Structure 1
Amino acid sequence: MNSKYLLYPLLLLSLSGCTDQSAKMTTPVIQKETKPVLMQPFKYHKAIEVSPGNFYDVFSWGRGADGGGQYMILRSDSSDQQYNTINGDLEGPIKEVLNADMDVDGNPEIIIYANSIDTNRYTNVFVYEYNNDNARKIDFPRLTDSQRKGYRGGDDFYIKESKLMREFPIYNGRGKEALPSGAKRVIQYSLQSNSLYGKQISKDSTSTSQVAEKRPEPAVVKHSSTSSKSKKRATISKKHKVVKKARRHRR
């Protein structure tokens, strides 16, 4: 048997092996992004840099159920070598941490909002204003009666033009039978004289106004002029007959 015919299959096998290896080498490996895992007992962490070297690390921590625990704000000013800590109690997990300067005085505010077990509030908000290494807690105002009408939680906080904005859906009804109306309410918070003030800036409707049904008016039957004339003629003819009978009786 000719040796040439034996070499062809060997060449084909070697070429196919090379192509397979090159394909394996050139195929990109896509790695899934993994969120950093916090070491217990920490559950949440966000770092905010308000100026070069001035960091605020916000943590939530506590072993056990996800509901309870504490928040902790670690301030690190590496330029002035200042470090301090603030902590407080939590009823639920932290939803978000924001940074603002609502009164535009150059002192940053750190805003933490977390879930609450209170069904009247649904959300707890903690606000701290920092002046270098001094931190002052600012009370967050409750919703007024008009602002909380139709409120069932679902808050979303964000910063817009140095103001703290609060947005939540509006529900119609009470208790478990309450249903979303499709409208949202927006409240703007401003910081004045070391106090927070909330003002509703959106127009919404928390109740559906029911329009009373108009009862149909009774139909007015209009008689034609011909029928009225015929009735008049009939009455006149009757009168003539009565007069004729009276004359006959007199005779």
Structure 2
Amino acid sequence: MPASSSIAETVAFGRKAAAPQAVAAPQVAPGHSLRAAALVLAGGLLAGSAAFLISSAKPEPPRLLSVGIGPATLSVNSTLVRNPAQRRDGQAGRLDLALSWPGLEASKPPSPSDAGADAFALKDVLLVTILAADDGLDPSALPAQLYGRYLESGVEDGPAGLIRRSFRARSPYEGEVLFIAPPDGRRFAARCELARPSPDSLPHMCIAQFRRDGLDVQLRMDARLLDQWEAIDERLRHLVDKMLG
């Protein structure tokens, strides 16, 4: 759905996604609400769960996929791929993965029968999207060259040595918080929606990304995992390197 979609449209999309179908994780453009991303991701996970239950009588055996994205070719275990339509060899525009944490193994979707708040507790799941890198800024440069102009002047201590900065009101990222690894966020930066309460019981989400060999790797995770950011970043980079061979 378009990055400019309203929250109401996103909620409707999430409900529609409860029908068994292949759902790709959305890209979140600058300024797009992380709350909207959480709603769409929740709907996508439930849709994936429905598809899993329908196909459970004949489970698909795991196999190694050879997937081309942009200039790179990745070798990927099919069980890590969240979207069933992407579990095939050949060229692809993107690859959506659901990884358990801390195992970085296949993450089983939540059951539709558990469609309460616990069904959306993503603390043990990393949602990863791999795309061909575009002509935009390298993700490592975003804190200094893009986000910096929209930040308030105050600086706070964040979890596990991160620096916490709040985005200004009426900026494209209003209501979000930026966490960066010192000194400048080049190693790690995550945008999180923590400035507002979560009345819908969905988890606060964070988005981080890095670039590797012509690929942009986007990570979505529960904000409660920020205290493990260093291990997550290191192990995810290692996994991508392993896929690239």
Higher helix proportion (structure 1 or 2): 2
Higher strand proportion (structure 1 or 2): 1
Structure with the greater alpha carbon radius of gyration: 1
Q: TM-score, normalised to structure 1's length?
A: 0.19
Q: TM-score, normalised to structure 2's length?
A: 0.19
Structure showing greater relative contact order (alpha-carbon pairs closer than 8 Å, 6 or more residues apart): 2
